[in-house]
Amino acid sequence: MNSLENYKALLERYFGNSTATFDAASGATNKVIGALNHTNFSSFHSTFLSRLKRLATRYSSANPNNRNLLQTLNEIATEKNWEGAYAEIVALDFLNSEQDWLSTPIQISKTVPASATLAGGFGSQNVNFDGYYDDFDVSFDIKILADKSRDILDGIMTEARTSLGIPNVVISPEYPLDLGFESFQQNRRKLLNELVQSIDVTARTSLVSSVIVPELKFRLMWQAGVLGTVGTYDPYQHAENQHTLLFKHAKKFSLVGPSLIVFVFFPWFSENVVTQFESSGTFYRAFCRRFFCQYNKDVTAANSLLKSFKGSETISQVTDKLSGVLFLEDTSIENSNPEDQNVKGFAYLNPNAKHKVSGQFREYLSSLRFNVDDMAHDNY
C-alpha cells in the first residue's frame, strides 16, 4: 500500500466512503502522508488519527463546514500544498478543543467584502479568512511558520547541482540563523549565478563565500563523509529581521472587528532553530512587540512599505488593525500521549489594536492553556 492509498483508507475510516477525492494511484507523497505510512512514526500516526477522530465528531456530515474541512484534508495528500493544509488541521483541531465554551464549531472559510479589511486597499473584491468564531466575533487566518531562508537556499543548491551536473555532491549553507530571509529572496538569481560560477568541478571546490550576501557561505562535500556547518542565533535579532513578515498578511487585517494571524510551527516545515534553544517564547514576543509597538506613532504612508497598497492609511493605521498573533507549536511527532492536543500555544495581543478581542475570548484562550500576553505595561 503506497502512502496515498494508506492516507485514503485513514481518511475514509473517519469521514466515510468517497470522502478522499485525490488519485491514490498517482504515487505522490510528502512528509506527512509518508510518515503515516511508516512504522518509525508510530506516535505521529496515533496522534494524527486522534485529530481526525475529533474533527470528524466536531464537523459531522450534517455540519455545513464539513465540505471545507474535507477539502483541506484532501490537500494534505498533495505534494505542493500539504504544509498549509496540515497547519490548518492542527489549528482547527486545537482552537476548537474547549467545546463547552463554543455554541458552534469554528466556521471554516469565511468570505467578507474586501472593504471590510485592508484588502480593499490592494484592489481586491473579497477576502477569505480561514476561520471565524461566531461566539467571539473573531476572524483569523492560518499561516505556516516556514523556514523561508532554508527553502530559498535549498532551491538555489538544487539548481546549482543540476546546472553543474553534480547531483550527488552535498552542498550545505552556513549563515547566521537569525538573518532575514529577504536577503536571500531579493538576491536569489544572483546567488545562484554566484554559486555556479564559484564551483570548480575539476578542482572540487570545498568552500564558497558569497560576496552578494557576505554572511553566507556554502560548504561542499564531494564524497561520503560528514559535513559540518556553524550558525549563530539571537532571538531578538531574528525578530528584528523577520517581524515585517506580518505586513505581507495585511489583507487579512479587519477594519470592522478583531482579527488574528495564527502561525503554526511544525518541525517538518519550520525554522527548528526557534525551538532548539528553548527561546521560542522570546522570539515570538519580540516579533510581535516590534510590529505592535514599534510603529504605533508612525505616520509614514503605508505604501512606502506595501508597494501595491493604494489605501490612505499610515503604517500605524495598518499595524493597529491586527488584534493579535497566536503561535501554535505542534509536538505530535514525538508525543507519547496521542489523546493530548499535542500543541503548545502562545498568544500575543496588540495593546494598540483598534479592535481588541473581548475579555471572554481571552478567558477562552487561557482555557486552552495559551500563554496570553497583552503587553499592556510594555507598550512603548
Q: Do residues 95 and 106 make contact, with C-beta atoms less than 8 angstroms apart?
A: yes
21 backbone dihedrals φ, ψ, rounded to 5°: -105, 0
What pLDDT shows up at residue 277? 55
Q: What is the pLDDT of residues 223-268, one digit of tens each?
A: 877 666 666 678 888 888 889 899 999 999 999 999 999 999 998 8
Coil/strand/helix, residue 324:
strand
- pLDDT surpassing 60 at residue 276: no
pTM of the model: 0.87
Q: Do residues 131 and 166 make contact, with C-beta atoms less than 8 angstroms apart?
A: no
Bigger pLDDT: 317 vs 179: 317
- pLDDT surpassing 90 at residue 177: no
How many other C-beta atoms can be found within 10 angstroms of the C-beta atom of residue 12? 13
Coil/strand/helix, residue 347:
strand
Q: Give the confidence band of 197 by pLDDT, cuts at 50, 70, 90.
A: very high
Of 244, 253, 271, the C-alpha closest to 329 is 271
What's the CA gap between 150 and 173, in Å, rounded? 8
Q: What is the mean pLDDT of the chain?
A: 92
